[in-house]
Amino acid sequence: MRNNNSRVVRTAAAVAVLAAFGALTACSTGQAGTPGAAGDVKPSTSSAKQAQTPAGGTRVTGGADALKANGSKPSGEQFCATAQVGLGVDFPAQGAEGQLTVPILLANDSSVRCTIQGFPGVQFQKDNGESWDLVRSDDPIKPVSLAPGESTSATLVFLSATTPEGTSHWSPDSILVTPPNTTDTQRLAWDFGAIVRQDAATHPGTYVRSVAAVDYGNK
């Protein structure tokens, strides 16, 4: 288990990159563990400044379950029923043991304040129909309250096929992300190359971390 400071920061620069993702707001500090036993993620300063994506996903049906085991709803505020999804543009960042990470951005696209917490459902897909639902880390659940247009992020950790571990190199064409506690699945192109497929592994090197588990130092 590791301590990971987590925050989301309001910034005019983020709005300039993508108005739909608005700003990043503050949340708390917690501990986190991972199935692949990777070390702490430490994005470079240049990467951390641009945890935005130039385009959101396309809404589709299906995807991985995002309704289970995401904690109880905080009193006085509803879960976000939908959220616009994107991937960080200046990532992936290098983690430990050959793993890479990329933030999964989640923006409140409603007209009211709401809470996002827990784990998004994440599924890799190929155009031929093959798919892989990712497992979760053991990060704690931390609620993040978002005003309309504000964003937070979860984290995708993946084992690149350029690493020596494993032989099941697999090249997904897209990634389906379902924001926590919703069925609002969105498809995005996967532009980060082949990965090592370990869906039968007890502790795969590719998995998803919870909302607000990692501090990307956005400015």
pLDDT of residue 106: 94
* 95: nearest Cα among 196, 217, 214: 214
Q: Can you give the residue range of the structural domain that contains 128?
A: 2-209
Q: Is residue 218 part of a domain?
A: no
Q: What does pLDDT average to over the chain?
A: 76
Please state whether 106 falls in left (phi above 0), alpha (psi between -120 and 50) or beta: beta
Ranges in the chain, pLDDT < 70: 1-55, 96-97, 163-167, 215-219
pLDDT of residue 52: 44
pLDDT of residue 163: 61
The domain that holds 141 is classified in CATH as 2.60.40.10
Express each pLDDT in 152-196 by its tens digit: 999 999 998 876 555 678 999 999 999 999 999 999 999 988 999
Q: Is residue 174 part of a domain?
A: yes
pLDDT of residue 22: 43
Q: How many domains does the chain have?
A: 1
pLDDT of residue 57: 82
Instruction: List residues bridging with 4 in a β-sheet.
Output: 30
